[in-house]
Amino acid sequence: MTPDLASTIRKQLNRAAIPGCSIAIVDGSGLQWSRGFGLADLRSRTPAGPDTVYHLFSGTKLFTAVATLQLAERNLVDIEAPVTRYLPEQSALEGIHIMHLLSHRSGLADTLRGFLAVYFPDQRPPSTAEALARYRIRAEGRPGRRVQYRNINYALLGEVITRVSGTAYRDYVRDKVLAPLAMDVDFDFTEAMRSRAATGYIGRWDPMRLALRVVTPDVARRIYAGRTGSQIALREYGLASAAVGGLVGNVQEFAKFVRDQLLGGRGVLSREWAARMQSTVAQGKAGIESRDGVGLGWKMGSAAHGRFLNHEGGGAGFTSELRLYPERGIGIALAMNAMRMPRTMMVSHAICEALVEAGAPWA
């Protein structure tokens, strides 16, 4: 890596007060480069590395999309069918199809209490039905009319996967998506992961602190682990809505999924369904930097270095980015142990663009 590129990345992290960041770059032949910057833990001064473990958060939705499309391949789910075919008790979903959920065009409103819900290591992970029960399902627009990114869409898909497959969502994704790609990631921190886990940080005056205190006071009482300067460390936790954002792992492992998508999803999907996943379904802004449209899980954007597909993720203490540059044949997995909406997402975008501009070899 050139000194200028390393300096650019560090400046981006410093400007947003991000303690640490890890990055992996792949092409069709495999992992090309990976590196950490900054600190995984401020108190112990542990450096961030390629094997540092982070929350992926909403990048998990790509795995949920793949699981749904696998069931479609097997003719167990019709993505053009009404959601009520699979969740008949959800009468409020009348007129909403599986395709609307996959492409964030359901017209449903989100529920802050639903996607902020977490659990701790001494608690049982909620099922998809239990996670879904935290959401108040209500419409705020007509289905199919416009792109509106909503977590409820994928909380519903998680329950569809559980019902149709007859297997708990987490187990299905482990067996049918993670295992075929030999990915060492999971929905909970394993003992091996804990020794490499980044500490998540939230700013002392971050609005997220107020949201947690007001919306989930029980979480706020348990999640804070102490302050280092202006940063407050977070204790280990898991996201209750696993299908929305539950995966944890390191960027080298998440990059395996990115590479498989570059290769047409051959490890987990047929080429036809992978192509549909990556094709624009509707135009509209679905992310901070992805303003061009949505596919089935993927978001679309364009920048100085061409068209990209991405999915950012963010929650208490962590930000992530999974990104494809199809015309350049490369993909990037990036994770950081801080989240400030939208600033950390903008930093992720700037770093990805800087990496593409620098070109190979990055090392």
Q: What is the pLDDT of residues 324-355, one digit of tens each?
A: 999 999 999 999 999 998 999 999 999 999 99
Cα 245 from chain centroid (whole Å): 5
30's CB contacts (< 8 A; 6+ apart) are: 259
Write down the pLDDT at residue 93.
97
Token pair 């359901």 in the structure block, residue: 106
d(CA 252, CA 165): 29
pLDDT at residue 207 in the model: 87
- Rg of the chain (C-alpha set): 19
User: What mean pLDDT is predicted for residues 96-119?
Assistant: 96
Q: Are strands 318-325 and 238-239 parallel, antiparallel or unpaired?
A: unpaired
pLDDT at 106 over 70: yes
The DSSP H or E segment spanning 50 is none
Overall average pLDDT of the 259-285 stretch: 96
The closest alpha carbon to 60, from 134, 154, 149, belongs to: 154
Q: Is the pTM of this model over 0.95?
A: yes
Residue 83 has pLDDT above 90, yes or no: yes
pLDDT at site 362? 58
Provide mean pLDDT across the span 255-268.
96
Average pLDDT value for residue range 69-88: 98
Helix (H) / strand (E) containing 294: strand 293-294
In this prediction, residue 158 carries a pLDDT of: 98
* 8-state DSSP, 360: S
**What's the whole-number average pLDDT of the chain?**
96
What pLDDT sits at residue 22?
Answer: 98
Q: Is the pLDDT of residue 359 over 90?
A: no
Helices 151-165 + 60-73 axis angle, to 10: 40
How far apart CA 224 and CA 180 sit, in angstroms, is: 36
| E strand segments, 110-217 | 118-119, 201-203
